[in-house]
């Protein structure tokens, strides 16, 4: 199965992303569980977290080209927004 690509991403608070996919569905994704790992620990900084960008091609969201979350993870574990 091919998953929808990320069209846009916005940090709506210090730990939650609102992600819009290319099929026009939106999902909220809470990064809190990831913050316990060393790789994602920089996202504890609210200003850095809010600098989220969509990777070219829509395959992930990225921070500073060093941290990313795939479209699969965002789609599978995000909460659908009506």
pLDDT given for residue 1 in this prediction: 75
Mapping DSSP to helix (H, G, I), strand (E, B) and coil, where does residue 6 land? Answer: strand
pTM above 0.85, yes or no: yes
Contact 81, 26 (CB under 8 A): yes
pLDDT (tens digit, 0 to 9) for every residue of the chain, 82 residues total? 789 999 999 999 999 999 999 999 999 999 999 999 999 999 999 999 999 999 999 999 999 989 999 999 999 999 999 8
pLDDT given for residue 61 in this prediction: 99
Question: If you ran DSSP here, which 8-state letter would residue 63 be given?
Answer: E
Name the residue with tokens 């939106």: 26
- Name the residue ranges covered by the structural domains of the chain: 6-81
Q: What is the CATH number of domain 6-81?
A: 3.30.2020.10
């Amino acid at each position: 199965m091919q998953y929808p690509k990320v069209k846009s991403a916005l940090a709506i608070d210090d730990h939650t992303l609102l992600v819009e996919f290319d099929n026009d569905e939106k999902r909220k994704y809470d990064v809190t569980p990831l913050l316990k790992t060393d790789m994602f620990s920089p996202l504890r900084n609210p200003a850095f977290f809010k600098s989220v960008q969509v990777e070219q091609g829509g395959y992930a969201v990225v921070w500073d080209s060093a941290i990313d979350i795939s479209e699969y993870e965002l789609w599978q574990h995000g909460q659908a927004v009506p």
